[in-house]
Amino acid sequence: MIDYDKLIDVYLKYPDRGDFAPIADGDKVCILYTGNVGLGKARHLVFSTGAKASFREVERQEILAELERLEASRDDEFEGDIGDFEDVSDILSASYDDAPIIKLVNQTIIQAAKNGASDIHFEGLTGKFAVRFRIDGKLHTVKQYPKSLQESIIARIKVVSDLDVAETRKAQDGRINLRIGNRDVDIRVSTVPSVTGEKAVLRILEKSKSLVTIDKTGLPENLVPRFRKAIKRPNGIILVTGPTGSGKTTTLYAALQELVSDDTNIMTIEDPVEYQMEKITQVQVNRTVDITFASAVRAFLRQDPDIILIGEIRDTETAQAAIQASLTGHLVLSTLHTNNAPTAVARLIDMDVEPFLLSSSIVAVLGQRLVRKLCPHCRKEVSAEQYVKDFFMIEGLEIEKYYEPVGCDRCLHTGFSGRLGVFEMLTITDGIRKLINERADSSAIAKEARNAGYKPMMCHGYEMVSSGITSPNEIIAVSGND
């Protein structure tokens, strides 16, 4: 039988390894794969090496994690891969023997991608320069450097994102397209001047990240059939509400995965396009050539669409375009920034949408937040404190014990690992439509919704706390002010 290390050497020479990966299984080899393409590559590897191996189908993320581990153990191979870029030629193509600043920026971006960070902050402090990663929604300081490095690091970031290096007095926006290992990564760069020098923030969007299905968003079991029923309607507006970074777009794309088919024309207008899907038409906002949310929706209506996804309703023009699209027989999916689901109706009325049009077009509003999941390896059970009991007692929910974070090596000593959605869903009933026509406030709408079975986000949070998924403080932070 072929030696395992030799098998890995052959495997690492494949140009595209994101669909399959071999692992040691005792004294044998097991090859992980995803989809028919991955299975075909796995069988080719076995045939070409003469190895005896078993096969196991898994999620793509598990394969990418194993691939990163294998590549990290082959430093030369890994360093060769990270020089493979699309639109930007030099972000990581420089040798690690080159200038220390280039190496520092390269390693920081690689480390952030491997740690699952959504943002990298390069910011000046008094007498020093710090690098912070946002992981699971929280910022963590990972490095501090001498203040003298600040200008050089910011200049390097500007060079690779095609910004004006000489301009330090105004904010600038740019982007970097790169490939780290087998990950296609799109980085949005923003720089602003401050009293402690220029600050740069890099938002990491992973193109190759697998899309989440409705069943894996964290939507509670009682809401899943209601949400599926809503998105299967031929027309109307379905809104997902919540603050920036609460997973609204992820939820909408989970819905699109169930709606996409050969007999359906789906069109989206987004800023930016975060996920790329087959069989749908995706358009990115470009104000330079007058491609806005509203103008794109008007253009879509001449393209014979069945379903339209609007990245965000943020002004009167977009809101009215969405209403008109829904009233002319199209299903419209969009997001809105509000504190909770009942407030969404009042927010649209504030945008000068006529109540009678809104009441006849809106179908459902899904409120959403993201909470951090407790690390299963170090969480500990404790007796409920009085403030936690009082918080849940508002909804008549009793709690005696729950789990709280501790921290270990597996969760970077944060006590948390990953995030999950916490939801509430408002279905528009005849009673709510009547209140909308009367321009009722959000509290009256919430009261009527409760009579029809609406449960606030706190109730889903209680289920998550009771089952040990998250801590009460996470739920209090996202729903305490609702």
| pLDDT confidence tier of residue 202, bands split at 50, 70 and 90 | very high
DSSP state of 247: S
Quote the pLDDT of residue 233. Answer: 93
CB atoms within 10 A of CB 18: 19
CA dihedral 157, 158, 160, 164 (to 10 degrees): -170
Report domain extents, the chain.
4-76, 98-206, 214-480
pLDDT averaged over every residue in the chain? 85
Residue among 407, 402, 411 nearest 468 (CA): 402
Contact, 88 vs 156, CB < 8 A?
no
Q: Please tell me the distance from the alpha carbon of residue 143 to that of residue 133, in angstroms, as a whole number.
A: 10
Is the model's pLDDT at 86 over the cut of 50? no
Query: Model confidence at 62, in pLDDT bands (50, 70, 90)?
Result: confident
CATH says 214-480 is which class? Answer: alpha beta
More confident residue, 96 or 117: 117
pLDDT higher for 190 or 44?
190
Tell me the whole-structure pTM to 2 decimals: 0.72
Distances (CA, A) of 191 to 158, 197, 199, 204, 403: 8, 10, 6, 15, 40
| Local confidence band at 92 (pLDDT 50, 70, 90 cut-offs) | very low
Whether the CB-CB separation of 290 and 317 falls below 8 Å is answered with no
Question: 4-76 — its CATH code?
Answer: 3.30.1340
pLDDT at res. 74 = 53
Q: Which residues contact 168 (CB under 8 A, 6 or more apart)?
A: 193, 198
Q: Higher-confidence residue: 4 or 80?
A: 4
Q: Which residue has the higher pLDDT, 114 or 427?
A: 427
Report the topology of domain 98-206. Beta-Lactamase (3.30.450)
Residue range 120-166, pLDDT digits in tens: 999 998 888 999 999 888 888 888 988 988 998 999 999 999 899 98
- d(Cα 231, Cα 247) in Å, to the nearest integer? 18
Higher pLDDT, 274 or 397: 397
Q: What is the per-residue burial (b if ≥16 Cβ within 10 Å, else e) of 342-381?
A: bbbbbbbbebebebebbbbbbbbbbbbbbbbbbbeebbee
> Cα(25)–Cα(307) distance, rounded to whole angstroms?
46
Residues 6+ apart with CB under 8 A from 290: none
Q: In angstroms, rounded to a whole number, what is the distance separating the alpha carbons of residues 24 and 273?
A: 38
